[in-house]
Structure 1
Amino acid sequence: MTVLIDPPLWPAHGTVFSHLVSDTSLEELHGFAAAAGIPDRAFDGDHYDVAQRHFERLVAAGATPVGGKELVRRLTASGLRIPARERPSKLLPALRERWTRLLPQDPGLGEDLLLRWGEPHRNYHSRVHLLNVLEALDLLLPGSGLPPEQHRPLLLAAWFHDAVYRGIPGQDEEDSALLAERGLTALPTSEAAETARLVRLTTRHDPAPDDLAGQLLCDADLSVLAWPAPRYARYLTAVRADYAHVSDADFARGRAAVVEQLLALDPLFHSPLARELWLEAARGNLHGELEAFRRTRTL
């Protein structure tokens, strides 16, 4: 057991709080918290916030007390610590600025989208994912050859592509596209239609060979597959949390099918820069997932 707890020093709600973490796995942390009666709402991405009154009880249950600096050091070394910029609650100013640059005439639509991306049932499909896709497009767009008049529909498609998320593959993308068609009334009809078309492409990530905008959006959406190992592990944990209602065996079979579908995509990434940046790492991560499923015999 490697669950750690630091001293209750962090003030909030009329008391002080400790951080409860694991330096091994989130599964271990969640199991310990559940057994100790710590509610799910106390979890904040890589730790549980626990009030002072629980400190001695959690230590007695097996949590190891350490200083705050030691807790952060061990959490960081484990790869489980989430940087501040990746926390959904910290992203609103940066995302609002991006929306203002993109569509300043409709701030209300931007706020509606941010509320959707911040819905409490989202784990992977959150504001963090939205910003990651937009930042990936920041890398891919310069020098891509996409005409400037096509940039806005592409960026809007990034904002809308998971705006509706209920965990229903295919239907979520269609509903998100319909939301774009209804919401972008201030734009020329052709731009709204192009945005919706691009959103629908994220269902299968199979743009046509001459569809440069579609290729860029799909590449940006799948850039997560190339994340370094600790960050990729957090991505997998978040995806599993999005499907918490599914049994482990059913999730393993479904996730393995998704991984095999991704590995079968030819190409997995379309733009030359995306292939250079992400292809090798993405294939390594995907093959690693399949191998892990086979080792644990969950397929």
Structure 2
Amino acid sequence: MQKIGFSGTLDPITNGHMWVIGEARSIAEEVVVFLSENSTKAPKFSAEERKAIVLASCAERGWNNVAVQIVKSEYTARVAKRNGVGYLIRGIRSTADFDYENLIQQTNVEVIGGAKTLFVMPPRDLGSVSSSFVKALEGPVGWNWTMKKFVPAPAYKAWILAWLRKEWDSLWRERPHSAEWFERLTGEQAYGGAERHYHNLDHLVHGLAEIRAWAANTGAAPAHVALVKAAFWFHDAVYAHAAGEVSNEEASARLWLGSGLEPDAVRAEEVATLIRATDHFQGGAMLHPLKDTMLSVDLAILGQEAEVYQAYATGIRAEYAHVPEADYNSKRAQILAHLRGKAEAGTLFADPFFTDNYTAAAIANMSAELALIAGR
């Protein structure tokens, strides 16, 4: 078969969709993805954005025989046939899917004279993966780590950037140069950098979600929430291994103060104080009522589910790939033993909300990593 089509809204494209496209590639020489633009729906991404995400997701896998065509206010099956595509491929996940798709197939062929449909059944682990399923994951603490398992990397990055942009705009939409600062912090020179294996966009999303949860469960004042969010946005903006004149945290605080995003000098200094509170060298001297919360948010990753913690530990090792294994293990074990001791004493998370929710898991996670290091 020369051509076969695959249609959908793909908002976002999921690993289930990618599996079907892969099956299509095994059947035909060329796959055409017909991307629906429905004026009655309000998708997260525009049709052009979705097209770019689909192409990037296919390119990432080396699939160079996949094209994307946007369909506007037309029957996809009719557009497909008009473009020399005689068959569309669809994934069937359940009997309900089959009944629905069979009705669509009959309509496509018998009513509008369009392309016929071939049905394939995805493997069990992809059987429940759909765009609506992925959309429903957004929001709670850890949602990004879960979503990452179900969508290709370009779709994941586009999604979290869109989420981060809403968070950013809630703080600084009207401030001068706001858009430029968002691009800077999420770009290659900061959290979006290729060498950022943990202190990256994932870390940023996770921390901001933690702040949301803290605020919702403690009734924190909106002004306090905004201060902690602002500090978290900038606290790891500068992250370099080479020794400089100042620490990364101090450099990040100065970057914040130079951004001009907060015109109120007192509030700007408060944010800088919270950023400096995360500094190993000078943090102890920093005083602010929200310091305990800021430090707890930064350490919250230690108390996550084992799978998320393991991803964190792997990322930390990758960021210190320049350090020899023996040296890394020795230093890492010292740090973990110190932090576990604080957790066992109930002082790792200074904010009670985090103490109550994450202490037990943090002890278990760090103990598991220490055991792994000892066995190397």
TM-score by length of 2: 0.56
TM-fit CA distance, 1:10: 8.5
Q: Encode CA deviations 1:158-190: one digit per residue, 9 max, x unaligned.
A: 100111112358721111111011113542111
Letter in 2 for 1:178: R
Residue 130 of structure 1 aligns to which amino acid in structure 2? Answer: L
The answer to whether structure 1 residue 96 and structure 2 residue 168 are counterparts is no
Following TM superposition, by how much is the alpha carbon of 1:15 offset from its aligned partner in structure 2, in angstroms? 9.0
Cα displacement (A) at 1:143: 5.2
Of 246, 257, 261 in structure 2, the residue corresponding to residue 181 of structure 1 is 257
* Distance in 2 between residues matched to 1:145 and 1:157, nearest whole Å: 19
Bigger relative CO (Cα 8 Å, ≥ 6 apart): 1
- Cα distance in structure 1, aligned partners of 2:286 and 2:233: 23
Taking the TM superposition and a 5 Å limit, the aligned residue runs for 1:62-211 are 69=123, 82-84=148-150, 87-106=156-175, 107-108=178-179, 109-115=181-187, 116-142=190-216, 144=218, 146-167=220-241, 171-184=247-260, 186-204=262-280, 211=288
Cα distance in 2 between the residues matched to 1:81 and 1:201: 31
* Aligned partner letter, 2:171: L
Matched, 1:275 2:355: yes
- Listed as ranges, the gaps of 5+ residues in structure 1 are 1-5, 17-43, 54-66, 74-78
Deviation of residue 257 (structure 1)? 2.2
Deviates further, 165-174 or 283-292: 165-174
Amino-acid identity (%): 26
Alignment CA distance shift 1:68-1:188 (3 Å): same
Structure 2 distance, partners of 1:128, 1:230, is 14
Q: In 2, Cα distance between the equivalents of 1:10 and 1:221?
A: 44
TM-superposition CA deviations, 1:15-66 (whole Å, max 9, x none): 99xxxxxxxxxxxxxxxxxxxxxxxxxxx9xxx955479xxxxxxxxxxxxx
Q: Is contact 1:15–1:52 with CA below 8 Å preserved after alignment?
A: no
Change (3 A) 1:223 1:10: farther
Query: Cα offset for 1:9?
Result: 5.5
SS at match of 1:253: helix
Distance in 2, Cα, partners of 1:285 & 1:204: 22
Q: 1:259 aligns to what SS in structure 2?
A: helix
What whole-Å deviation, never above 9, does each CA across 1:77-97 have from its counterpart, x for those lacking one?
xx9994358944431100000
Q: What residue is the counterpart of 2:335 in the other structure?
A: 258
After superposition, what is the alpha-carbon deviation per residue over 1:201-234, rounded to whole angstroms, capped at 9, x for unaligned?
Answer: 1123966898441111111111110121122111
Counterpart amino acid of residue 303 in structure 2: A
Match of 1:223 in 2: 300
- Give the letter aligned to residue 233 of structure 2: W
Q: Note the C-alpha offset of 1:248.
A: 1.3
- Paired amino acid for 1:278: Y
User: Displacement, 1:260?
Assistant: 2.2
After TM superposition, the structure 1 = structure 2 runs for residues 4-15 of structure 1, keeping only pairs within 5 Å, are none
Please give the secondary structure, in 1, of the residue aligned with 2:290. helix
Equivalences, count = 241
Look up the match of 1:64.
none
Larger radius of gyration: 2
Name the residue aligned to 1:249. 326
Question: Conserved in 2, the CA contact under 8 Å of 1:80 and 1:230?
Answer: no
| 2:372 matches 1:292 | yes
Question: For each residue in 1:117-145, what CA deviation from the matched residue of structure 2 results, as whole angstroms up to 9, or x when unmatched?
Answer: 11111111111100100111111124546
Compared CA separation, residues 186 and 223, structure 1 to 2 (3 A): closer
* 1:245/1:165 CA distance change after superposition, 3 Å: same
Question: Residue 261 and residue 52 in structure 1: after superposition, are their counterparts in 2 closer, same or farther (change >3 A)?
Answer: same
2:273 touches 2:288 (CA, 8 Å); kept in 1?
no
Aligned to 1:29: none
Deviation at 1:157, TM superposition (A): 0.2
- Which structure 2 segments of 5+ residues have no match? 1-18, 32-56, 65-120, 128-144
Preserved contact between residue 249 and residue 276 of structure 2 (Cα < 8 Å): yes
Q: Residues of 1 paired with 2:216 and 2:125: CA distance?
A: 41
Structure 1 length as normaliser, TM-score? Answer: 0.69
